[in-house]
Amino acid sequence: MKALALISGGLDSLLAARLIEEQGVRVIPINFLIPFCHNKKAASGVNSGLDRIADSLGQGLKRIDISSEFIGLLEKPRYGFGSNMNPCIDCKILMLTKAKELMGELGASFVVTGEVLGQRPMSQHKQALGLIEKKSGLEGLLLRPLSAKLLLETLPEKEGWVNREKLLNFSGRTRRPQIELANKFKMKDYQNPAGGCLLTDPQFSRRLKDLIRHRQLGLENIELLKLGRHFRLTDQAKLVVGRDEKEDNELLALTKDKDYLFMPPLEVAGPTCLGRGEFSRELLELAGSIACRYCDSKANPAMTIVYKRIPEQQERMIEVRPIEEDKLRTFRI
C-alpha cells in the first residue's frame, strides 16, 4: 500500500506522514514549489533540511514546481485571500489536484496532509477542509492523520488500510501536542509551522499587491520582491534599493536587459539600486536622488550617482541631492 504525503517542511506535514508510515504504508513525500516558499532554493539540488527530513521517511523527496499555475490564481483566487495575500484554499486545491493526478503514476492509493482542524482560520475549519477535499477530486481519499478522529471516516480507514484508532484528534492552534509527538519520534530538523510562506507576511503582501495592480506579476518581478526597499516611481517604473552588501549582490544577479543600475561613486559607501521599467531623464534624477539618500555622505549630501542601462557597459553620471524624507515616503511600497 502506498500513499502520497504533501510535505511543506513544517512539523505537521512531517508528523502526518510519519504516523502513516508507522502503520506500514509506503509514504511518498511530495513538495510543491511555489515562488513564495523559502524551500524553493533547494530545488537547485542542494540537500536541504527538507530533503534530509523526507529521506528519514525512507523515500526520496519529489519536488514539483507549480509556480506558473500558482501565479495565475493569485490575480483572482476563487475563494479569496486570508489576512494577507495568502489564497490558502485555492492553493491547497491546486496542490491536491496535482497530487491526485500523480496518484496513478506513482501507484498511490490515497493522499496524506498535515492539516489540523481549526488551526488556521481560513483554510482549516471543517467546511473549508470539506471543500478542499471535494474540489480537488479526492473525496474519501484525503487522510488528515493529525485530526482524523474529528473528521469523517475516509476510505483508507474504512477499508482497513490504516487503523483509525491509531490516528489522532488534534485541533486548534496549540502546538504542544505536535511538539510532544515530534519528541516521541525524535524529530528535530523542521521549519516553522507555516513552512515559511511569504504570502502570509504583511510587507511582502503589500509589495505583491502593487505588482498585481500594475499588471507586472511575473516570476522575475516576484523574485525582486524578496529583496531591498521598494519604491513605486510611476505606473511603469520602480526602484529597489539594496539594504546591505549581500542584497546588493543579489540585486546585481537579478538584473535583466533594459534594467537600470544606480550606484554611488567609488569613494562613497552606498547601496546598489535596481530600476525596472521606463525611465525618463526626470525619473533617472528621481532614482538618483533616492540612491543618494541611502549613501553615506553626510559632509556633502549632493553627489554624483553613477548609472547604466543593462547590458550597456557605458556608465553615465547624474548630479543629485538626497530626496527629502516626506517626498521619499510617498514612493515607498
Mapping DSSP to helix (H, G, I), strand (E, B) and coil, where does residue 38 land? helix
Instruction: Check residue 194 for interaction with ligand SF4 (CB under 6 A).
Output: yes
**Among 177, 155, 186, which Cα is nearest to 18's?**
186
Instruction: Check residue 91 for interaction with ligand SF4 (CB under 6 A).
Output: yes
Instruction: Check residue 205 for interaction with ligand SF4 (CB under 6 A).
Output: no
N-term to C-term CA, the chain = 51
Stretch that binds ligand SF4, among 172-180, 195-203, 204-212, 262-270 (CB under 6 A): 195-203
In a 10 Å sphere around its CB, with 0-12 CB exposed, 13-18 middle and 19+ buried, how is residue 62 labelled?
Answer: middle
Contact 31, 63 (CB under 8 A): yes
66 vs 283, beta carbon nearer ligand SF4: 66
Instruction: Check residue 136 for interaction with ligand SF4 (CB under 6 A).
Output: no
Instruction: Check residue 222 for interaction with ligand SF4 (CB under 6 A).
Output: no
| 252 vs 272: CA distance, rounded Å | 8
Stretch that binds ligand SF4, among 82-90, 221-229, 230-238, 283-291 (CB under 6 A): 82-90
Whose cell is 530626496? That residue is 323
How many residues contact ligand SF4, by CB under 6 A?
9
Shortest separation between residue 132's beta carbon and ligand SF4, angstroms: 10
Helix ranges restricted to H, 35-107: 49-56, 67-74, 88-106
| 309 vs 323: CA distance, rounded Å | 22
115 vs 259, beta carbon nearer ligand SF4: 115
- Find the binder of ligand SF4 among 138, 199, 222, 273 (CB under 6 A): 199
Shortest separation between residue 100's beta carbon and ligand SF4, angstroms: 17
33 vs 310, beta carbon nearer ligand SF4: 33
13 vs 255, beta carbon nearer ligand SF4: 13
Q: Which helix (H) or strand (E) holds 2?
A: strand 2-6
Instruction: Check residue 66 for interaction with ligand SF4 (CB under 6 A).
Output: no
| 118 vs 129: CA distance, rounded Å | 10
36 vs 260, beta carbon nearer ligand SF4: 36
Contacts to ligand SF4 by CB under 6 A: 86-88, 91-92, 194, 197, 199-200
